Amino acid sequence: MNAATTPGLSAAEASDRLARDGPNELPATARRGVWGLLRDVVLEPMFLLLVACGAIYLALGDRHEALMLLGFVLVVIAITYVQKRRSEQSLEALRDLSSPRALVVRDGQSIRVAGRELVVGDIVLLAEGDRVPADLELVEASNLSIDESLLTGESAPVMKQAEGSASDANPDACRQAFSGTLVTQGTGRGIVTATGERSALGRIGASLQAISTDATPVQRETQRIVTWVAAIGLSLAAGLALAWGLTRGDWLHGLLAGLTLAMAILPEELPVVLTIFLGLGAWRLARERVLTRSMPAVELLGATTVLCVDKTGTLTMNRMAVRRLWAADAEQVLDGGASPDLPEALHPVLEYAVLASHRRAFDPMESAIGEAGQRQLAGTEHLHGNWALIDDYPLSPQLLAMSRVWQSPDRQDRLVAAKGAPEAVMDLCHLDAAQHAPIARQVEAMAREGLRVLAVARAIFPSGTLPDAQHDFDFEFIGLVALEDPVRPDVPAAIAECRAAGIRVVMITGDHPQTALSIGRQAGLIADGHAVTGPELDRLDDAGLAARLADTNVFCRVQPEQKLRLVQAFRARGDVVAMTGDGVNDAPALKAAHIGVAMGARGTDVAREAAALVLLNDDFASLVTAVRYGRRVFANLRKAIAFVVAVHLPIVGLSIVPLVLGWPMMLMPVHILFLQLIIDPACSIVFEAEPLEPEAMRAPPRRPDARLFDAQVLLRGFVQGSGLFGIVLVAYLVARSASGSDETARALAFTVLVVSSLALIHVNRTWTRRRDASRPWNAAFGWIASATCVLLVLVLWVPAISGLFMFTTPSASLLLIGAALCLGALAWFEATKWLLGQWAR
């Protein structure tokens, strides 16, 4: 089979085979079905308490109250079920997004598809860093080696060869690439022979988990608080039931009062709120083309103090183009079109740069060189489509240069083309100081313009056994190729936003120092400064490196293993580090960073698997967007918690006061349930949907150990809730004094509590002193407020319903007093917001 010319499967053939054989995936971990999820919802403590209250009403003979209470239970269960199901569906969508992808040939075109869509007969293209998506029979391989330790336990990579050229000793092993293994070097092309459970990985029952479900620090803190409050609440509820029964002799009503207090205190909203916030936060980031593979990343983003980013494709466009060619006696600037007057002296520079590149290029620089060669050398003898590739010497950390050996049809000797970092190529050519100096000056001049400079060399080698190393060729230096990768237009503004937010941006690149500094200046990363190079890093001890980190934002000529040391050094300083990477060797640094960020388009599968975030657009602005969302999630969680604390205080107070003062019960379980219809959606939907505060990206990052339940949040909730309790109590006393009716007093107090709770939501949507007129309206709050008001009108004015709530409709004058008290509550909330804002400063 000719792999170079085959068009691969058609889309229709692939679709038919996918329907026949099923997706290329292993059996997933069992997920909760409809009934399993419903069972988990029904068995939550809040609903068990409600069912117990319904049973007590039946025992008291209040059948209507029992049926209405149980009806409300069904409504709340439905709402909770829908919220949890939506969260699970979001996570399932994220799992699908984070599945490995594969580059395949279909209908003659190279396209990238989800790994699960591969079918037998597909042609898959492999490159360094890819995870093999299915079992393949190789039909083309160039210096291809694969790490098969996942299957064999052997750590040494296995060299692979194409069909027809494999070793006689073990031809099948050399020609096969197995699902789940990792390409560590070279490129290849293979035909899918087995997918899913039929692959080697499927046969041994291995399973990949795409999303970590470990508890985050905030989740652990929330669980601790919920457990603590629940224990106290249940103790108080038991005490209230006992005291009620002993003082009044009415044990059933005492038990009902105790259960009501337990419902009032139990903070069952908090775990739900946290789950929905993190799930919806990840979903919102996915809509911004940022895939969250680890939930702690959402939580930690707001605490990030250092962003370590690479240059190519993150700060720049990653669309390389050849802009300048240079030889000892000629130079030419290219504008992207064909240059008919390209000097003959420069033809070999471009000719051997093309020969030193892959014909099917994955690298943007090689693609640009190939395109320039086709434009500038068209119609000349310098393009060699009929030359045969004999061997190649790949780039290595020890030598930043690569060579490819070619055989011409009309000569015995082999021609060797090399390209790479200028200093590496000059070393290959063994240039003396006099020859070295003018080339180095030219490289520096090009680099100062922000150009990426490669040197080109050639050699002639007789037929026979090739040497083991590139240094054994007798290279002749030819010239320089300078490429441009412009800074992304949105990068300077994004870096300025990071600086205003107290976030430091550090560029780590393998480029020449002058190129790195030029890009740094264009991006607004530095005004004028210096760079630390990889060799300098090697000479620095840990103390010396720590001293240099304080004032260095550009690191260049950095090897992948040095990125790990930089990340660890920043962490040792107490920074919260986000690190971008795309290569196989970047994985340790991505794992070591607090937040590893992989490139979705150009990144390797192993980098994506090691990362917590994947930037599907590969640009820096997406990373800043992720940081902005991280701050938003944490800030809105604090608002939701302050609201939960504030709204529970009057509920708890109104449950205890009747026992202390000898009054009848002010709040029944049905009233608590009605309030839950406001509290749960407000916490999980209204506050989550709030945009970031305008000044949030002008404030320094929060401390990584900052707590959700800190003094500011708890004090805000306590002050607001205490004021609300006092206002509702005044409403009850005024109505009871004016009407002499407990039912009327209960109705007015409940009305003031409900309307004031809506005011509390509105005030806590933002903690700034003045509301921004341009701040978008929260549609979720509008719907919840409207629905609550409609239900409240039904409860007050429909006799059948008000009777179930044990209400008597208040008079118009009492309702006006209630409205005045609600305005007073609003004023109190705004006043406390201003006072606490002053205190926080």
| Block residue for tokens 């009605």 | 674
Question: Which residue(s) pair with 733 in the sheet?
Answer: none
CA angle 420–423–429, rounded 5-degree value? 80
Strand (E) or helix (H) holding 145: strand 135-147
Is 586 tagged catalytic? Answer: no
- Residue 801 contacts by C-beta under 8 Å, 6 or more apart in sequence? 794, 795
Q: Among residues 62, 122, 135, 310, which one is catalytic?
A: 310
| Block residue for tokens 């409860």 | 795
| Block residue for tokens 């107090």 | 749
In contact, 697 and 630? CB cutoff 8 Å: no
CA count, 13 A, side-chain hemisphere, 632? 21
In contact, 483 and 320? CB cutoff 8 Å: yes
In contact, 636 and 617? CB cutoff 8 Å: no
Question: Which residue(s) pair with 67 in the sheet?
Answer: none
Question: Which residue(s) pair with 418 in the sheet?
Answer: 403, 457
The structure tokens listed for 178 are 């197995």
Of 77, 78, 79, 72, the residue nearest 57 (C-alpha): 72
The total number of residues written for the chain in this structure? 841
**Sign of the torsion angle spanned by Cα atoms 615, 618, 620, 622:** negative
Strands 176-177 and 109-114, bridge-based pairing: unpaired
Distance CA 621, CA 306 (A): 15
Distance CA 511, CA 520 (A): 12
Rg of the chain over CA atoms, in angstroms? 34
By the 10 Å C-beta count (0-12 exposed, 13-18 middle, 19+ buried), 47 is classed as: middle
Question: Which residue(s) pair with 595 in the sheet?
Answer: 578
Distance of CA 400 to the CA centre of its chain: 32
Distance CA 664, CA 743 (A): 10
Give the catalytic positions in this structure.
310
